[in-house]
Structure 1
Amino acid sequence: MTPSDSGRAAVPSGGAPARRRPSAARRRLAALSGTLASVPITLLGLALVTFLIGRVVPIDPVLAIVGDRAPADVVERARLELGLDQPLHIQFWRYLGQIVSGDLGRSVMTANPVTQDIARFFPATFELATVAIVLAVLIGVPLGVLAATRQGSWIDQGVRLFCLAGHSLPVFVLGLLSLLLFYARLGWAPGPGRQSIFYEGMVEERSGILTLDTALAGDWGAFQDALAHLAQPAGVLALFSLAYIARMTRAFMLAELKSEYVITARAKGLSGARIVWLHAFRNIAVPLVTVLAMTYAGLLEGAVLTETIFAWPGLGQYLTVSLLNADMNAVLGATLVVGLIYVALNLLADLLYRLLDPRVR
């Protein structure tokens, strides 16, 4: 074949040169750009939802500030200063500008900026939710795998019954039963709260995470006290979460263990542990990431009842007390932070998809 023949062979029969496919790096960049581009749209929708909540809730923010018995001229002047006499679209753009600048308003209840209150209360919720999700993953995932590999046995039936009971009982019932048994009857656990009165103020708050701050300070008595107070609420949340995680892990594993590649691997004589953990479990890691991310997000925002029962000074309790006191700036600010957490964890789950599953990449 001559050079001219080889040049003609590279051209398709239609006469047009073959279109080169984009490189793998370019495709990954395009997919990542599309994911990141959806974040501002989601945040804009979140801001719109929180704004509409503040307008739909039958609570007058002006009366919450000046009081029910304020004169009419004072109420009208406060309404003008807050811009509530403007059309809704102007109020929304003003609200959006405040969010972008980091101004969530001032709390009527504490007289502090809402951002300052959230920064003070959120570390307690973060500590509680993080310990709960770690316990739930360490126990729930192995339980789900064990139940799937022993399908139909008494182990599988016991795990399913445990998951049904743990996920069906309301959190506040589990919390009250825990206090009644371990605190009131047996005396094994300390009372509600985050720390005993004896240790309050003895350790400087650096991160707001009490167990971490006491450990960094080297005050092991305060550390043990903080850990003891953390055990009950974290255990209740972990029990509720691990039941769901174990149930979903079992369902994912059952689907994978019936796949053709698992049957082929067994026919080749591979060990059961190798098939389960190196093959089947790797394939369920992608859907399991979504379950874990959404469970963690739910713990960060859904610990309202647990924090109320155990007097845990976190974001959930702050949100509840603010709502009872008609403090709409605090309610909307906390709601916005919860929405941001969901968006961030969804984005993190999407990025983990690309790392764990080559097909997505």
Structure 2
Amino acid sequence: MTEDDVPEGRNRAQALRHRRLAGAMRAAAGLLVSVALTFAGLLFITFLIGRVVPIDPVLAAVGDRAPADVYERVRVELGLHLPLHRQFARYLAQVLRGDLGMSVLTANPVAQDILRVFPATLELATSATFIGVFLGVPMGVSAAVNRGRWPDHVLRVVGLFGYSVPVFWLGLVGLLLFYGRLSWLPGPGRLDVVYEGWIDGGTGVLLIDAAMAGEWAVFRNAAAHLVLPAAILGYFSLAYISRMTRSFMIEQLGREYIVTARVKGMREFRVVWVHALGNAWVPLATVIGLSYATLLEGSVLTETVFAWPGLGFYLTRSLLSADMNAVLGCTVVVGAIFIGINLCCDAAYRMLDPRAR
């Protein structure tokens, strides 16, 4: 190598780094544009829903007996006298400022109400997802390994039952059996009445707040209340995750690299749980992420059955009260959750699959 080749090699490496950086910046810019367009489309659909539902937001705010001048004044304040394109521009600006309107039901800002109730849903959905992943993945792997034999049939029936039976029915049966008959678990709600007000502030997740405050009696009571609704939702999540895990594992176990590994004498445990499951995690990460997002959106029926004061329970009460600001605000939050979870799934996909990088 001559002395002239050294700067030439450095220039070539520097140019390669610049091209990679420019490609990464273009990909990031494209991702930001895609997210912005998706969120704008979500807001546009939400705006149209608010305009086509047969509920007058002015009457919901002022009541049926309000004078005509009061009705007109509130209509102007809400901007409903403006053309639709200006109404949408105003709505878009409000949402970007974090203003989701005022709730008729609670007389509080909708954003404040959602921040208050969302930690309860986060606690419930996270617990249920842990149950679904830590039980559903081994069940799916076992069913795939024993494909066509009795363990596969049993696990498929268990999964099919959880996937088909209405979740509110399971909740009612669970309350009747474990709370009403056996008295093994406490009833609806997040805490017994005697513990209400013991924990002030914090994250809103009772288990974390009670542990940080050292209130272990509250922690045990909150955990006992969480067991039944989390188990019901976890069973629903388990059924979906185990079914998808089985499908992904059957596909991987039929690949040539698995046959090669077995021919070389590799232990079956390593073949199944390291190599096959390692490759199945790539699509499985997306399945788990979307399952988590579905639970985070507010498990309406479960939260209603168990009087769990989360996003789903708040949305149900708002719908029954024709509180459209709260309903549309929850819709925006749910859509934002799905967008965020999808971004996380894409990032996990790139981390788990070198080909995607």
Which sections of structure 2, spanning at least 5 residues, go unmatched? 6-14
Equivalent position of 1:196 in the other structure:
192
1:112 equivalent among 93, 103, 108: 108
1:97 maps onto 2:80 in alignment: no
CA distance in 2 between counterparts of 1:294 and 1:251 reads: 17
CA distance in 2 between counterparts of 1:228 and 1:356 reads: 36
Equivalent position of 1:158 in the other structure:
154
- Mean Cα deviation higher: 25-34 or 137-146: 25-34
1:167 equivalent among 156, 163, 168: 163
Equivalent position of 1:245 in the other structure:
241
Contact residue 171 and residue 305 of structure 2 kept, 8 A: yes
CA change 1:191–1:240 in 2 (3 A) is: same
Equivalent position of 2:287 in the other structure:
291
2:318 equivalent among 295, 318, 322: 322
CA distance in 2 between counterparts of 1:90 and 1:329 reads: 18
RMSD: 1.6
Contact residue 140 and residue 243 of structure 2 kept, 8 A: yes
Equivalent position of 1:56 in the other structure:
52
Equivalent position of 2:10 in the other structure:
none
| 1:17-32 matched pairs, under 5 angstroms | 26-32=22-28
SS of aligned partner of 1:288: helix
CA change 1:172–1:252 in 2 (3 A) is: same
CA distance in 1 between counterparts of 2:17 and 2:264 reads: 38
Runs of 4+ in 1 over 2 A off after TM superposition: 19-37
2:258 equivalent among 255, 262, 269: 262
Contact residue 298 and residue 310 of structure 2 kept, 8 A: no
TM-score computed with the length of structure 1 as normaliser: 0.92
| 1:7-22 matched pairs, under 5 angstroms | none
What one-letter code is carried by the residue in structure 1 that aligns with 2:212?
L
Contact residue 163 and residue 239 of structure 2 kept, 8 A: yes
Equivalent position of 1:129 in the other structure:
125
Per-residue CA distance 1:286-336 (angstroms, 9 max, x = gap) = 110110111001001140010000000001110110111111111111110
Q: Percent identity?
A: 59
Deviation at 1:165, TM superposition (A): 0.5
Deviation at 1:22, TM superposition (A): 7.9
Which sections of structure 1, spanning at least 5 residues, go unmatched? 1-5, 7-18
CA change 1:133–1:55 in 2 (3 A) is: same
TM-score computed with the length of structure 2 as normaliser: 0.93
CA distance in 2 between counterparts of 1:317 and 1:124 reads: 10
What one-letter code is carried by the residue in structure 2 that aligns with 1:227?
A
Contact residue 289 and residue 342 of structure 2 kept, 8 A: yes
| 1:159-238 matched pairs, under 5 angstroms | 159-238=155-234
SS of aligned partner of 2:297: helix
SS of aligned partner of 1:203: coil
Deviation at 1:275, TM superposition (A): 1.1
CA change 1:29–1:259 in 2 (3 A) is: farther
